[in-house]
Amino acid sequence: MDIWTFGLTVALLGMGGTMLVLWVLSLLILLLKKIFPYQAAAAETKKG
């Protein structure tokens, strides 16, 4: 494999892959927040 095929492949898959993984992570965070929402009352009770 010549260096340009190598370089362009790694660059494109790397940038695309990083963006894709982080985008899916952001969706997973939103999902977690939806399933386990913050409950102010519970937090206050714990503090008290």
d(CA 11, CA 42): 47
Residues between 11 and 30 with contacts to other proteins, criterion CB under 8 A: 11-15, 17-19, 21-30
Q: Smallest distance from the beta carbon of 37 to other proteins, in angstroms? A: 6
41 binds other proteins, rule: CB under 8 A: no
- Total residues found in the chain within this entry: 48
Can you spell out the DSSP letters for 14-31?
HHHHHHHHHHHHHHHHHH
Where along the sequence are the contacts to other proteins (CB under 8 A)?
1, 3-4, 6-15, 17-19, 21-30, 32-33, 36-40, 43
